[in-house]
């Protein structure tokens, strides 16, 4: 029995005809799918507590809301904004959100969860917990597992593990090509039927132009986006960092900006011919920004994302030879970062992604050449945005929430990214003033490959609700900055 | 009867504070001068007295992940001339294929009780990484194309011995600049001491971006030759080039090999240097390599002197002789 959905509250079991009084014990325990279905059904019928979040600043860019108010969560949904006392349910818990932001839960567009195959880096359990502590209520799991997510079975595996972990929502990204090999189309129809919300071979770029064109055309049937990370790999082979002055001084192998620009240009040009939906998952150069801006002006249906790390850091950081700064797309020049920030603020760039790539310590504790690309970001994502982008005035709260929640939800085509009444109550209460020191012990991700260890950040998710259930609460923050 | 007080012949420089020697970029002109002066003094002292005991009881380990004979032996000899013990570790294979990270390898060597690790590796930043993970002193003997500080120092010492000072000289580094750690260490050291540096080679190996470091970029060796006081002919690093950056060795030699005709374009007192190993017939012809302007073998001797200085300054901890 294929499950149409992994949401705890979707009611799909009911739709499939699973009776409300369905008893697990009467069925064979080996039919795992059905047991899971049953557990989930039990959850649908459980009574959900009500919450009244008071005194917080409600930020919902999709509705154009930004004011202090009250938010009532009941029955798993946003029940009311600024309800009268008379409309409150008989039993609810008050949350004092004074000084905090109340925003739609964050949505991450491509998170590496490591499972199956790379459990030493991350598991669905640890990754979803890290997501919650970073304020994310929904994440899309990247397809670069081992084996990759190129079959319906693989999609279902991730969804069931996610349902069992029962933390944030996990959407699944399927492969564009069989085995992520970039040669033949994967069975995209089956992947979509199994629940894949997008298709991508990321972090591997879609180098095969004919394949990308075919995939864009084929996906017209399913209205699902293709996510590509633009890179001409023949220009970056063996590369470690952005080609530029710092690279020249350090002697590390170069990854020139034009490797990204050329691929961006190709992707956009193909999209103009095929139509369909293309999302460039992580651009990083001023050149890409300019190309995307022009293409959007012509009316192309392209959306674009940038990684938080690519905005918080630049090539200068490589001087430390800390392999945690080795990421792809690489940390670019200050001018590139500035261009990306401006594009994010003006809407040319739609989405901020975590770019979460957990890598175990033993993999990162190698020479720069040998260490894999990647930075573990989920735990710190929100705090990084606040500390490095919002506080210095480089990004507005409105655009931050838009690009971290509304826009990615739109790209995935899922019900999230808004606090509209009647929507599933995926809500994050953000304390923008809490300072904390990033410590290994405080990270939920199984990998702590972040250069931020030991650094002080400001801002943190205080409460996270998923489907009206309190899934994360920062009760006794440890590692608070002294004073 | 009073025994005459024995004056120390060499004093440990009071202002020296460094625990590692990782690159020349982060050293001041005064630090570099200290290293050069110390190298000269130790070299003179050794010539007069023979083997010294300044580092008696200390142990230096050579930890080489890349092939090397001259640098490794030069460091060993330097340590021995100061009375230190040496141990050797070399691995041509990468740490991954050996199943042990190079940091673990280094920690193992350190645990044997060494005071300094001299390390060479094909990847930039490896010695910096070791310095973070080890307590003992780390000397960078070449980290990929990044830096090779003792090579830079020995080149500069050789120039200084012939010209007295570095300030005002025009020094050209010729060849594969982009893959050369020797070029980078020379640029930092020479610039700090006031030289004018020209980097010269095929455009695929010498980017215009080098100008931002305050050096002159030239593609024609013939054009710059009349202005040069020193030529440092770098080896073509075939092993570091993923794709061949010029059409043929023959064409390279045609454009950049230092030969008898080019010597006629040069200043009368030009110094011809090469960090070695030299490819005779590629960057230098035998009559130039063995000619009166060549100081290539003197560079090798000076290599031991600067390595003695580096080891003593890092490990000597105020000792004097």
pLDDT tens profile A14-53: 444 444 444 333 333 333 344 444 444 444 445 789 999 9
Q: How far is CA B131 from CA B21, B22, B106, in A?
A: 9, 8, 10
Contacts of B213 in chain A (CB under 8 A): 245, 248-249
Q: Tell me, yes or no, whether A139 and A239 share the same domain.
A: yes
Average pLDDT estimate for B55-63: 95
CATH placement of domain B29-147+303-315: 3.40.50.1370
Tell me the pLDDT band of B279, cut-offs 50, 70 and 90: confident
What does the alpha-carbon distance between residue A326 and residue A375 come to, in Å, rounded to a whole number?
Answer: 8
- Cβ burial, residue B92 (10 Å; 0-12/13-18/19+): exposed
Position A25 scores a pLDDT of 35
Residue of A nearest to B65 (CA): A367
User: A418 lies in a domain?
Assistant: no
Position B98 scores a pLDDT of 57
Position B10 scores a pLDDT of 86
Query: Would you call B81 helix, strand, or coil by DSSP?
Result: helix
Is the CB of B209 less than 8 angstroms away from the CB of A369? no
pLDDT digits over A402-454, tens only?
Answer: 999 999 999 999 999 999 999 999 999 999 999 999 999 989 999 999 999 99
Mean pLDDT for all residues in chain A: 90
User: A351 lies in a domain?
Assistant: yes
Residue where one domain finishes, among candidates A347, A379, A412:
A412
User: A422 lies in a domain?
Assistant: no
pLDDT digits over A305-344, tens only?
Answer: 999 999 999 999 999 999 999 999 999 999 999 999 999 9
| Domain covering B149-300: architecture | 3-Layer(aba) Sandwich (3.40)
Tell me the pLDDT band of A379, cut-offs 50, 70 and 90: very high
Q: The domain that contains A192 carries what CATH number?
A: 3.20.20.140
Average pLDDT estimate for A120-147: 96
- Cβ burial, residue A86 (10 Å; 0-12/13-18/19+): exposed
State the greatest distance between any 2 C-alpha atoms of chain A, in Å, as a whole number: 69
Report yes or no: B242 at the A interface, CB cutoff 8 Å. Answer: yes
pLDDT digits over B165-214, tens only?
Answer: 999 999 999 999 999 999 999 999 999 999 999 999 999 999 999 999 99
pLDDT digits over A181-192, tens only?
Answer: 999 999 999 999
Is the CB of B124 less than 8 angstroms away from the CB of A250? yes
Q: Tell me, yes or no, whether A280 and A180 share the same domain.
A: yes
Measure CB to CB from residue A245 to each of B25, B102, B209 and give the nearest one. B209
- Please give, rounded to a whole number of angstroms, the shortest distance from the CA of A341 to a CA of chain B: 26
pLDDT digits over B60-79, tens only?
Answer: 999 999 888 899 999 999 99
Residue where one domain finishes, among candidates A412, A439, A470:
A412
Query: Is the pLDDT at A3 greater than 60, yes or no?
Result: no
Contacts of B103 in chain A (CB under 8 A): 365-366
Is the CB of A367 less than 8 angstroms away from the CB of B123? yes
Report yes or no: A245 at the B interface, CB cutoff 8 Å. Answer: yes
Contacts of A237 in chain B (CB under 8 A): 242
Q: Residue A229 is part of which domain span?
A: 103-412
Is the CB of A238 less than 8 angstroms away from the CB of B242? yes
Report yes or no: A45 at the B interface, CB cutoff 8 Å. Answer: no
Residue where one domain finishes, among candidates A373, A394, A412:
A412
Looking up tokens 């001299």 gives B118
Average pLDDT estimate for B116-122: 95
Query: Is the pLDDT at A245 greater than 80, yes or no?
Result: yes
Is the CB of B94 less than 8 angstroms away from the CB of A238? no
Report yes or no: A334 at the B interface, CB cutoff 8 Å. Answer: no
Is the CB of B124 less than 8 angstroms away from the CB of A238? no
Report yes or no: B83 at the A interface, CB cutoff 8 Å. Answer: no
- Please give, rounded to a whole number of angstroms, the shortest distance from the CA of A179 to a CA of chain B: 25
Report yes or no: B188 at the A interface, CB cutoff 8 Å. Answer: no
SS3 track for A60-118: EHHHCEEEEEEEEEECCEEEEECCCHHHCCCCCEEEECCCCEEEECEEEEEECCCCCCC
Tell me the pLDDT band of A163, cut-offs 50, 70 and 90: very high
Q: Read off φ and ψ for residue A219, nearest 5 degrees.
A: -75, -10
Is the CB of B96 less than 8 angstroms away from the CB of A252? no
Tell me the pLDDT band of B320, cut-offs 50, 70 and 90: low
The total of structural domains in chain A comes to 2
User: A6 lies in a domain?
Assistant: no
Q: Read off φ and ψ for residue A185, nearest 5 degrees.
A: -60, 140
Closest CA to A195 of A164, A153, A237: A153
Mean pLDDT for all residues in chain B: 91
What does the alpha-carbon distance between residue B109 and residue B116 come to, in Å, rounded to a whole number?
Answer: 10
Residues 6+ apart with CB under 8 A from B37: none
Segment among A154-158, A251-255, A284-288, B276-280 with least mean pLDDT? B276-280
Q: Tell me, yes or no, whether A147 and A251 share the same domain.
A: yes
């Amino acid at each position: 029995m294929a499950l149409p959905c992994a949401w705890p509250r979707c009611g799909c079991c009911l739709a499939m005809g699973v009776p409300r009084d369905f008893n697990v014990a009467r069925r064979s325990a080996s039919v795992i799918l059905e047991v899971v279905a049953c557990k989930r059904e039990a959850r649908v019928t459980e009574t959900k507590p009500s919450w009244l979040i008071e005194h917080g600043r409600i930020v919902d860019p999709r509705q154009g809301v930004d004011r202090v108010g009250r938010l009532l969560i009941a029955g798993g949904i946003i029940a009311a904004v600024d309800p009268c006392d008379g409309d409150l349910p008989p039993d609810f818990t008050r949350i004092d959100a004074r000084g905090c932001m109340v925003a739609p839960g964050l949505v991450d567009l491509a998170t590496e969860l490591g499972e199956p195959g790379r459990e030493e880096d991350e598991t669905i359990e640890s990754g979803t917990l890290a997501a919650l502590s970073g304020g994310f209520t929904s994440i899309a799991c990247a397809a670069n597992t081992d084996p990759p997510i190129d079959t319906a079975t693989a999609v279902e595996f991730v969804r069931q593990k996610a349902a069992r972990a029962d933390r944030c929502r996990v959407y699944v990204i399927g492969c564009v090509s069989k085995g992520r090999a970039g040669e033949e189309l994967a069975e995209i129809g089956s992947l979509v039927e199994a629940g894949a919300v997008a298709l991508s071979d990321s972090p591997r770029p879609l180098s095969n132009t004919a394949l990308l064109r075919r995939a864009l055309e084929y996906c017209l049937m399913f209205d699902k986006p293709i996510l590509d990370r633009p890179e001409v790999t023949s220009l970056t082979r063996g590369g470690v960092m952005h080609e530029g002055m710092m690279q020249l001084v350090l002697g590390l192998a170069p990854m020139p900006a034009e490797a990204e620009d050329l691929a961006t240009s190709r992707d956009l040009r193909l999209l103009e011919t095929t139509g369909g939906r293309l999302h460039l998952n992580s651009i990083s150069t001023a050149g890409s920004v300019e190309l995307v801006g022009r293409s959007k002006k012509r009316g192309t249906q392209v959306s674009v994302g940038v990684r938080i790390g690519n905005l918080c850091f630049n090539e200068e950081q490589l001087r430390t030879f800390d392999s945690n700064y080795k990421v792809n797309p690489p940390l670019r020049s200050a001018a590139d970062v500035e261009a990306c920030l401006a594009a994010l603020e003006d809407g040319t760039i739609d989405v901020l992604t975590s770019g979460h790539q957990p890598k175990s310590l033993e993999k990162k504790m190698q020479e720069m050449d040998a260490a894999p690309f990647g930075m573990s970001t989920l735990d710190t994502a929100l705090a990084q945005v606040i500390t490095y982008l919002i506080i210095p005035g480089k990004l507005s709260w409105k655009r931050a929430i838009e690009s971290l929640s509304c826009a990615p939800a739109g790209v995935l085509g899922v019900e999230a990214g808004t606090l509209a009444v009647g929507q599933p109550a995926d809500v994050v209460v953000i304390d923008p003033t809490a300072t904390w020191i990033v410590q290994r012990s405080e990270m939920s991700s199984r990998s702590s490959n972040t250069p931020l260890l030991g650094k002080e950040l400001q801002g943190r998710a205080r409460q996270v609700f998923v489907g009206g259930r309190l899934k994360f609460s920062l009760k006794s923050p440890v590692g608070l900055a002294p004073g | 009867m009073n025994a005459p007080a024995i004056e120390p012949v060499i004093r440990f420089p009071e202002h020296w504070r460094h625990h590692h020697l990782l690159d020349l970029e982060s050293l001041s002109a005064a630090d570099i001068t200290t290293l050069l002066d110390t190298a000269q003094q130790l070299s003179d002292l050794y010539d007069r007295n023979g083997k010294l005991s300044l580092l008696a009881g200390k142990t230096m380990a050579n930890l080489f992940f890349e092939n090397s004979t001259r640098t490794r032996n030069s460091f060993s000899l330097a340590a021995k001339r100061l009375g230190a013990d040496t141990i050797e570790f070399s691995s041509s294979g990468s740490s991954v294929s050996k199943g042990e990270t190079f940091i673990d390898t280094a920690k193992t060597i350190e645990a044997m009780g060494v005071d300094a690790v001299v390390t060479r590796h094909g990847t930039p930043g490896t010695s910096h990484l070791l310095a973070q993970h080890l307590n003992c002193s780390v000397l960078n003997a070449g980290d990929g194309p990044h830096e090779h500080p003792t090579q830079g120092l020995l080149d500069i010492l050789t120039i200084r011995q012939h010209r007295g000072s570095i300030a005002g000289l025009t020094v050209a580094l010729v060849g594969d600049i982009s893959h050369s750690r020797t070029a980078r260490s020379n640029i930092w050291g020479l610039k700090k001491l006031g030289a004018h540096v020209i980097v010269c080679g095929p455009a695929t190996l010498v980017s215009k971006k080098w100008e931002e470091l305050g050096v002159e970029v030239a593609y024609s060796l013939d054009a710059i030759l009349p202005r040069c006081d020193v030529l440092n002919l770098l080896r073509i690093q075939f092993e570091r080039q993923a794709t061949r950056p010029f059409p043929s060795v023959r064409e390279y030699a045609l454009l950049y090999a230092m030969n008898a005709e080019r010597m006629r374009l040069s200043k009368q007192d030009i110094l011809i240097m090469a960090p070695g190993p030299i490819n005779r017939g590629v960057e230098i012809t035998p009559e130039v390599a063995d000619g009166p302007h060549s100081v290539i073998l003197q560079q090798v001797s000076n290599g031991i002197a600067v390595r003695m200085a580096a080891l003593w300054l890092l490990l000597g901890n105020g000792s004097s002789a």
